[in-house]
Every structure is written in C-alpha cells, then in structure tokens.
Chain A
Amino acid sequence: MATRSSTISVTTKRRHRRARASSALLGAAGIVLFLVAWEAVPRLGLVQERFLPAATTVIDRFVTYLFDSSFWASAGHTMAAWGIGLAISTIAAIAAGLIIGSSTFLRRATFTTIEFLRPIPSVALIPLAVLLFGAEIKSSLLLVIYASFWQVLIQVLYGVADVDPVAYNTARSFRMGRLARIRYVVWPTALPYIMTGIRLASAVALILAITAELIIGSPGLGEQIALTQSGNQVPEMYALILATGFIGVLINVVVRRVERSVLAWHTSVRGEAVL
C-alpha cells in the first residue's frame, strides 16, 4: 500500500513558528530604528530641537494629551466629521451608482459630467465652505462628502459594470423586478467594489476632515495643529501629528477588518491596488 513518508516533524513546526516571530521582530526593529534616529538627530544637533524635538519629548507631550479631555473633544470632532461625512457620501454614492449603473442610458449620459467633476480637487471648495458655513463642522462635511462621494461612486459603477450579463438576464427571464434584480444579482457582484470604495473613501475622508480643520479652522485635531503651530508649541504640534497618524492606522485596520468580514463569503479574485 502506498504510504507517504510525511510526519509533521517537530523541527518543521518550530521552523515556521520561528520564521513568523522573526518577521514580527524585524518589523518592530524597523520602528525602533526610526525612533532612535528621531531621538538622535535633534540631540546631536543635526537639526535644531526647536524645529525637530526629540522623540521622547514628543512622546511625553503625546501621553499628556491622552489624559487631556479637550484633546479627546477635538479628536471627537474630527471623527464626527469623518464618520458623518463618510456615511452620507457612501449612502448617496451607492444609491446614485446603482441607479446610474443599471441603466445604459444614464451611464452614457452622465459619463462626461462625472469624468469632468471627479478630478476637481475638493480643496477647491474651501473658500466656498468658508463663505457658506465658516469655521464649523459643516465646512468639514462639505469637503469630506464631496471627496468621498466620488471615490465610492466610481467603485460602485465599476461593480455594477462587472455584473455577469448572463446572471442578470436569467433574473429578468424569471420576471424579477428591478429591485429584486439589484438585490440578488447586482448587489453581491458590486459589494467587493463597494468595500474597496469605502476603504479608499475612509482614508480620503480623514484627509479632508483634517484639511478643513487645518485651513478653515473648523473644530478638530487639524485646528489644534494649526493653533500649536501658530503658538510655536512645537512638541505639542508633533504630538498631535502623531495622534492623527494613530487615528489613520486605526481607521485602516478597522475598515480592513470590516471589509474582510463582510466579504468573507465572497471570493474576490480581483487584483486590487494596495490603497
């Protein structure tokens, strides 16, 4: 009888466990190296400390902020602008995308308008936002919604375009209404694209929320960064920048996790881009 001479040897398991641990270690080493360099450069005088505070100074300020309720209030404002803007733009884009995408006429009629409006940088709307809303969260929302909407819309349109015509026509021959067709045929195909759109839009939304706060002065971390910069509180400014980085990472991680669980049933084989 044919037998495989394969035993899961202890050495093999150990080898692979070691490999995983060593890459985690190497990654951590990268961060440590960066921090060491950050500490050394200002302390050695390569760059003046008033322009580039040492890592430990910044981390100290950062920890102080963590115990400061006004910091959390600012962070809350930023997240509010981010979250509300993302939600509104996503819902609007999915609705618009599904409607436009499922009608050839609408797709062709809106093509040039979309291609025209989409590359317009949302920062161009900053002066308009200032005029209309001033230094309030509505300004942030205007920018966030405008930028995020296009991200999600484009992806939804891709998704609807990817629907298998055979499946769609089969649904039609079973006399499924438009809504049922969308629910059972279009939606599952479009869902991975929608998740990609949300992932891209969540990053863009954070950028625009912070931008609005930075330049217009609507409440949030961006506004705080502008204040610390004009008030020459340099280590505080760096600490706040660090905080926005952590928020960015947190958003990335959460969105990826959500994406994975939503699409767990769906074998998405598209070669997507990283961001």
Chain B
Amino acid sequence: MTTVKNALYALGLPAALVTLWWGLTIDSTSFYVPKPGQLAVTLWNEWVGERFLTDFLPSVGRLTAGLVATILLGILLGALIGSVRWLRTLTEPLLEFLRAIPPPVLVPLLMLLIGINNQMKVVVIISGAIWPVLLNTVEGVRAIDTVLTNTCRSYRIGGLARWKYLVLPSASPQMMTGIRQSLSIGLILMVISEMFGSSSGLGFTIVLFQRAFAIPEMWSGIVVLGLIGIVLSVIFQVAERRVLHWYHGLRKAQRDA
C-alpha cells in the first residue's frame, strides 16, 4: 500500500501538470506553446538520429571532460592551497576576485586566447566550475577535527597515508557540496560556450531552432538540456550517497542522540 502511496506522491503533481498542459493546448494554435504529443514526437524525430551523433554526444563529451578535469584540478589545487598556510594567505585575495568574475564573461576572452574549438569549450567549463570545488576543498582540508589530527600524530600516521585516511575523507562532505554546485555551473557554461561561439553542439542547435522559429524543435532542445541536468543530478546523488554514506549515518546518529 505504501508503494502505491509513494508512487502517487511522486507522480501526482507532474501528472496533473502535464494533464493541465494537454488540456489547455487541445484546441490552441499557440505559436509559443506546443502540445504535449507534438513535443514528444518532435523530441524523438530531432534527437534520436543523426543529431545525436553530431550535436548531442560532442556536447555531452565536452561537458564530461570539463567536469572530470574540474574535479581533479579543483581537489588537487584545493588540497594544496588548504594545507600550505602561506600559500593560502598569498592566494586568498586573488582567488576571491577571480571567482567573483561571472564565468560567462570569460567566454569571449577564452575565444580570443584559444580560438573556437573543443579545447576552448572545455576550458570555459573548467574556468567557471572549478571555483566551488577548489574553495570548498580548501575549507574542508583546513577544518579537520583536532582530536583526529592528534590521533594521527600520536600513531605517527603521516605523509600519503594521512592524506588518504584522514584529510581527504574528512574533507569529502565539503568537497561533495562544491562538486554539486560545479555540476550545474559546468552545464550552464557548456551551453553558453556553444550559444556564443560555436557551429555545433546543443546550445548552438537550440539557438538555431529559435532563430528559424522552429518552436517545437526549440522546446525539444530545451527538454533535452533539462534531461541532461536531471541525469547529472541523479548520477551525483547516487555517487554522493555511496561516498558519504558514513557521513549521513554519523549525522543521523548525532541528531537522534
């Protein structure tokens, strides 16, 4: 019975909204709002086929490459800066300024420096998405429980072992928060880099549709972007639950105490 109830909660509002949408557009010939059925058909026609290979996959590929590089670089640099005190003091004001620059403005700048190619788009993603990861890693690496630090010292756990068993796990909740934010920034930047300076990709295609007033096609592109966002979010949540299951357990134990 509870599974039925859960399903109703999960699907109730969405189903109601879709029904409303369908009902409102039954007789309409609105230019801007496609009918649900029409949208589904367009989605299939446009995106399952050649465009999948020429636009969808390259975009997703660049996004993936950008995010992976972001996470690795962000954690590496963040761990370095967080653990070397003078380095942190040296770079702090500079980093505060650099991360305050809205990442989209770097698109024309990077176009100028790198040109209009895949590298530029990946660098654009990194340039904006790295900040939450880097700064959160810095904070996470700094704020390790002193009792744990003393425990490691008294058992002479140092060097690489200390990183592997103390610092990185301790900072991981903070890092995951940063990574979550960088996922959404990365996606935004992927789209912007393709809308602004590109001749292929999801962003470019959507703008193309809009300029040609191919409205259902435009909406289908928006839906695809939305789906990518959702898939990223789901992947992240699955990964987070695995990596941080100890953290959730710990917090729950503390709350229930």
Which residues of A approach B to under 8 Å, CB–CB?
23, 26-31, 33-34, 47, 51-52, 108-113, 115-116, 118-128, 130-132, 203, 206-207, 210-211, 214-215, 222, 225-226, 229, 234, 237-238, 240-241, 244-249, 251-252, 271, 273-275
Instruction: Tell me the nearest residue of chain A to B9, going by C-beta.
Output: A108
- Inter-subunit contact B89/A121 (CB<8 Å): no
In the bound complex, how far is the Cα of B222 from the Cα of A125, in angstroms?
A: 7
28 interchain pairs, CB-CB under 8 A: A27-B94, A28-B93, A30-B89, A51-B112, A51-B113, A52-B112, A108-B9, A110-B13, A111-B10, A113-B17, A116-B230, A119-B184, A121-B184, A123-B195, A124-B191, A124-B206, A125-B222, A127-B221, A130-B210, A210-B105, A225-B108, A247-B100, A249-B97, A249-B100, A273-B136, A273-B178, A274-B135, A275-B178
Contact present for B102 and A23 (CB under 8 Å) = no
Cβ contact within 8 Å between A225 and B105:
yes
Size category, B interface: 35 or more
| Chief secondary structure at chain A's binding surface | helix
Docked pose: A238 CA to B108 CA in angstroms: 10
A216, closest chain B residue (CB)? B195
B210 touches A241 (CB 8 A): no
The docked-state distance in angstroms from the alpha carbon of A169 to that of B161 is 48
Contact, CB under 8 Å: A244 / B136: no
Contact status of A244 and B101, CB under 8 A, knowing A51-B112, A211-B188: yes
B11 on interface, CB distance cutoff 8 Å: yes
Contact assessment for A245 and B101 in the assembled complex, using a CB-CB cutoff below 8 Å: yes
Q: Find out whether the CB atom of A127 lies under 8 angstroms from the CB atom of B14.
A: no
User: Which residue of the partner chain B has the closest CB to A132?
Assistant: B32
Are the C-beta atoms of B233 and A127 separated by less than 8 Å? no
- Whether the pair A274, B113 counts as a contact (CB closer than 8 A) is no
* Neighbouring B residues of A206 by C-beta, 8 Å: 102
Measured CB to CB, the nearest residue on chain B to A116 is: B230
**Bound-state Cα–Cα, A130 to B14, Å:** 27
Chain A residues with Cβ under 8 A from B218's Cβ? Answer: 127-128, 131
CB pair A34–B192 under 8 Å, yes or no, is: no
Q: In the complex, which residues of chain B have a beta carbon less than 8 angstroms from the beta carbon of A210?
A: 102, 104-105
B227 shortest CB reach to chain A, Å? 9
Residue ranges of B at the interface with A (Cβ–Cβ < 8 Å): 9-14, 17, 32, 86, 89-94, 96-98, 100-109, 111-113, 131-132, 135-136, 138-139, 143, 173-174, 177-178, 181, 184-185, 187-188, 191-192, 195-196, 203, 206-207, 209-210, 215, 218, 221-222, 225-226, 229-230, 232-233
The complex places the Cα of A111 from the Cα of B225 at a distance, in Å, of: 20
Contact A126 B195 (CB under 8 A): yes
> A66–B257 Cα gap in the complex (Å)?
57
Asked if A215 contacts B196 (CB within 8 A), the reply is: yes
Given contacts A113-B13, A248-B102, contact A121 B230 (CB under 8 A): no
Q: How far is the CA of A266 from the CA of B122 in the complex (A)?
A: 42
Residues of A within 8 A of B132 (CB): 273-275
Q: What is the bound-complex CA distance between A102 and B89, given in angstroms?
A: 44
Contact between B105 and A214, CB atoms less than 8 A apart: yes
Instruction: Write out the residue numbers on chain A whose beta carbons fall within 8 Å of the beta carbon of B207.
Output: 126-127
Residues of A within 8 A of B107 (CB): 214
Measured in the bound complex, the distance between the Cα atoms of B90 and A28 in whole Å is 7
Known: A52-B113, A128-B222, A275-B136. A121 touches B101 (CB 8 A): no
Question: In the complex, A29→B177 CA distance in Å?
Answer: 30
CB distance from B112 to the nearest CB of A (A): 5
Which of A31, A110, A113, A215 is within 8 Å of B192, CB to CB? A215
Which interface residue of A31, A124, A229, A238 has the most chain B CB atoms within 10 A? A124
Please give 12 more A-B residue pairs, beta carbons under 8 A apart, in addition to A121-B187, A126-B206, A211-B104.
A27-B90, A28-B93, A30-B93, A118-B233, A126-B191, A127-B218, A127-B222, A210-B102, A215-B195, A226-B196, A241-B109, A248-B101
